[in-house]
């Protein structure tokens, strides 16, 4: 019994003391709950972090983006766009080639006119007087030609008359010559017969010379009508010139368009050629004068389609066609072209003028000369692979 009492009592499980100051969060959850949570974690799929998902998406989309970008680069480059382009139109300073005082002005500034419409008129009196004088001179020339023809006919008649008298005087002279040989007539009668024969012969020569002179004045052909004689044509040309001056004293529009600078012309102003009275700008014949860089002309050709946007009309688009390409750069026509042989030469990308026709001006806002536009030319030729890659694909096998 004593030995049994001396044995120590069995050990009991020690439970940690729970302080009242600590909350329930500091304590471990009950064992059953932990087992239940571990069971749920083992059954559900593991959750990936956001960074890992972004990495996967990046590595997935990056090759696709590179492929799309490469495709767009290789197939792009067909459109050549330039904003160095402006609207151009036919325009001219309307003037006259005759001098005179302005009598009337028949148009107003910025007025639309048709071809042949009167713009302004010079005083017609000086031109009418000059026309009347030229016509009078034409009449005098006609009379002179008719007089020359009459003189020619008279010279021919004198020749015929003298040739008719010539045999008579020849016979009379021979008779006197026979009689004087036998001293049947006096010396005086012989001399008179000889003088009459010589005078007749001389009249024939003078008449022929006169006829030749008149014929030369008539151009060598007496049958030529008066209206075709050189002197008459010259006088007729003077009449035509006077008539032209009178006609040009009334200044008309050479083509359809809009007149400007009318205020610079006043009634009573004296105009001298080639001084212009008003300016006329075409309202129908318009085109685009573009100046792309020389590096953009590789595949540009006449006939290619062009899309045109005007800064004044956002959202409205015109369509055109490349009409022509200049054979020289714009600087080649400057007053002082570049001298590239000097020591201070600097390479500058040149611009080549390109003329673009506008195909659909109807039913759209009015275009005016000098408007800024943006032209997009469709060359139809893609950019293609870069040179370093195209050389690999196009390389030929080495020669043996």
Q: What is the CATH number of the domain that holds 315?
A: 2.40.30.170
Any domain includes 184: yes
- Judged against a pLDDT cut of 70, whether residue 11 lies above it is answered with no
pLDDT at 385: 65
Any domain includes 39: no
pLDDT at 17: 45
- Judged against a pLDDT cut of 60, whether residue 342 lies above it is answered with yes
What whole-number distance in Å separates Cα of residue 371 and Cα of residue 351?
Answer: 19
Query: What is the C-alpha R_g of the chain?
Result: 56
pLDDT at 98: 93
For residues 131 and 88, state if they share a domain.
no
pLDDT (tens digit per residue) in 95-104 = 888 999 999 9
For residues 240 and 147, state if they share a domain.
yes
How does residue 21 score in pLDDT terms, banded at 50, 70 and 90? Answer: very low
How does residue 384 score in pLDDT terms, banded at 50, 70 and 90? Answer: low
pLDDT (tens digit per residue) in 264-307 = 899 999 999 888 889 999 988 899 999 999 988 888 999 999 99
Q: Does pTM top 0.75 for this prediction?
A: no
For residues 154 and 234, state if they share a domain.
yes
- Residue 66 structure tokens: 């590179």
Mean pLDDT of 254-259: 93
Mean pLDDT of 53-74: 76
For residues 177 and 237, state if they share a domain.
yes
For residues 150 and 231, state if they share a domain.
yes
- Residue 86 structure tokens: 């402006």
Any domain includes 45: no
Which range among 126-130, 153-157, 196-200, 203-207 has the greatest average pLDDT?
126-130
Any domain includes 106: no
- Which of residues 194, 219, 244 is at a domain's end? 244
* Lowest mean pLDDT, pick from 40-44, 118-122, 202-206, 364-368: 40-44
- Judged against a pLDDT cut of 70, whether residue 396 lies above it is answered with no
- Judged against a pLDDT cut of 50, whether residue 110 lies above it is answered with yes
For residues 311 and 358, state if they share a domain.
yes
Parent domain of 213: 126-244
What whole-number distance in Å separates Cα of residue 117 and Cα of residue 109?
Answer: 15
- Which of residues 191, 221, 244 is at a domain's end? 244
For residues 219 and 307, state if they share a domain.
no
- Judged against a pLDDT cut of 70, whether residue 23 lies above it is answered with no
Any domain includes 111: no
pLDDT at 45: 52
For residues 161 and 222, state if they share a domain.
yes
- Judged against a pLDDT cut of 90, whether residue 57 lies above it is answered with no
Any domain includes 8: no
- Judged against a pLDDT cut of 80, whether residue 121 lies above it is answered with yes
Q: Which residue has the tokens 């694909």?
A: 393
Any domain includes 19: no
Any domain includes 104: no
How does residue 131 score in pLDDT terms, banded at 50, 70 and 90? Answer: very high
Q: How large a percentage of the chain has pLDDT more than 70?
A: 82
How does residue 25 score in pLDDT terms, banded at 50, 70 and 90? Answer: very low
* Lowest mean pLDDT, pick from 214-218, 334-338, 388-392: 388-392
- Which of residues 244, 271, 295 is at a domain's end? 244
**Residue 235: how many CB atoms within 10 A of its CB?**
22
For residues 130 and 240, state if they share a domain.
yes
For residues 87 and 134, state if they share a domain.
no
pLDDT at 241: 96
Which range among 59-73, 154-168, 201-215, 314-328 has the greatest average pLDDT?
314-328
The whole-chain average pLDDT of the chain stands at 82
Q: How far is CA 43 from CA 36, 38, 39, 184, in A?
A: 11, 9, 6, 183
Mean pLDDT of 12-29: 46
- Judged against a pLDDT cut of 50, whether residue 39 lies above it is answered with no
Count up the domains in the chain and report the number. Answer: 2
How does residue 12 score in pLDDT terms, banded at 50, 70 and 90? Answer: very low
For residues 225 and 165, state if they share a domain.
yes
Mean pLDDT of 215-242: 89
pLDDT at 393: 57
pLDDT (tens digit per residue) in 70-89 = 767 666 678 889 999 999 99
For residues 288 and 212, state if they share a domain.
no
């Amino acid at each position: 019994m004593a030995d049994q009492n001396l044995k120590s009592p069995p050990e009991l499980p020690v439970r940690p003391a729970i302080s009242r100051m600590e909350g329930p969060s500091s304590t471990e959850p009950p064992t059953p709950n932990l087992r239940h949570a571990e069971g749920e974690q083992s059954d559900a799929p593991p959750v990936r972090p956001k960074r890992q998902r972004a990495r996967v998406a990046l590595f997935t989309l990056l090759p696709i983006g590179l492929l799309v970008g490469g495709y767009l680069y290789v197939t792009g480059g067909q459109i050549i766009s330039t904003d160095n382009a402006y609207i151009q139109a036919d325009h001219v300073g309307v003037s006259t080639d005759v001098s005179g005082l302005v009598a009337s002005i028949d148009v107003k500034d910025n007025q639309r006119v048709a071809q042949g419409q009167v713009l302004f008129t010079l005083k017609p009196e000086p031109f009418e007087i000059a026309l009347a004088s030229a016509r009078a001179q034409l009449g005098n020339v006609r009379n002179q030609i008719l007089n020359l023809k009459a003189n020619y006919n008279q010279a021919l008649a004198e020749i015929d008359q003298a040739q008719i008298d010539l045999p008579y005087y020849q016979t009379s002279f021979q008779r006197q010559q026979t009689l004087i040989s036998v001293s049947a007539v006096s010396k005086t009668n012989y001399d008179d017969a000889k003088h009459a024969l010589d005078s007749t012969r001389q009249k024939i020569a003078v008449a022929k010379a006169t006829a030749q002179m008149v014929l030369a004045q008539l151009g060598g052909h007496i049958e030529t009508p008066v209206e075709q004689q050189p002197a008459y044509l010259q006088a007729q040309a003077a009449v035509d010139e006077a008539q032209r001056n009178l006609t040009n004293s009334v200044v008309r529009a050479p083509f359809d368009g809009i007149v400007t600078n009318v205020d610079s012309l006043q009634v009573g102003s004296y105009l001298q050629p080639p001084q212009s009275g008003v300016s006329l700008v075409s309202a129908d014949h318009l085109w685009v004068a573009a100046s792309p860089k020389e590096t953009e002309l590789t595949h540009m050709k006449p006939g290619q389609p062009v899309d045109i946007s005007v800064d004044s009309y956002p959202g409205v688009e015109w369509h055109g066609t490349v009409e022509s390409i200049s054979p020289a750069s714009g600087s080649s026509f400057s007053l002082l072209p570049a001298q590239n042989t000097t020591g201070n030469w600097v390479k500058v990308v040149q611009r080549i003028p390109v003329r673009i026709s506008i195909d659909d001006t109807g039913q759209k806002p009015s275009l005016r000369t000098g408007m800024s536009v943006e032209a997009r030319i469709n060359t139809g030729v893609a950019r293609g692979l870069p040179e370093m890659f195209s050389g690999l694909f196009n390389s030929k096998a080495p020669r043996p």
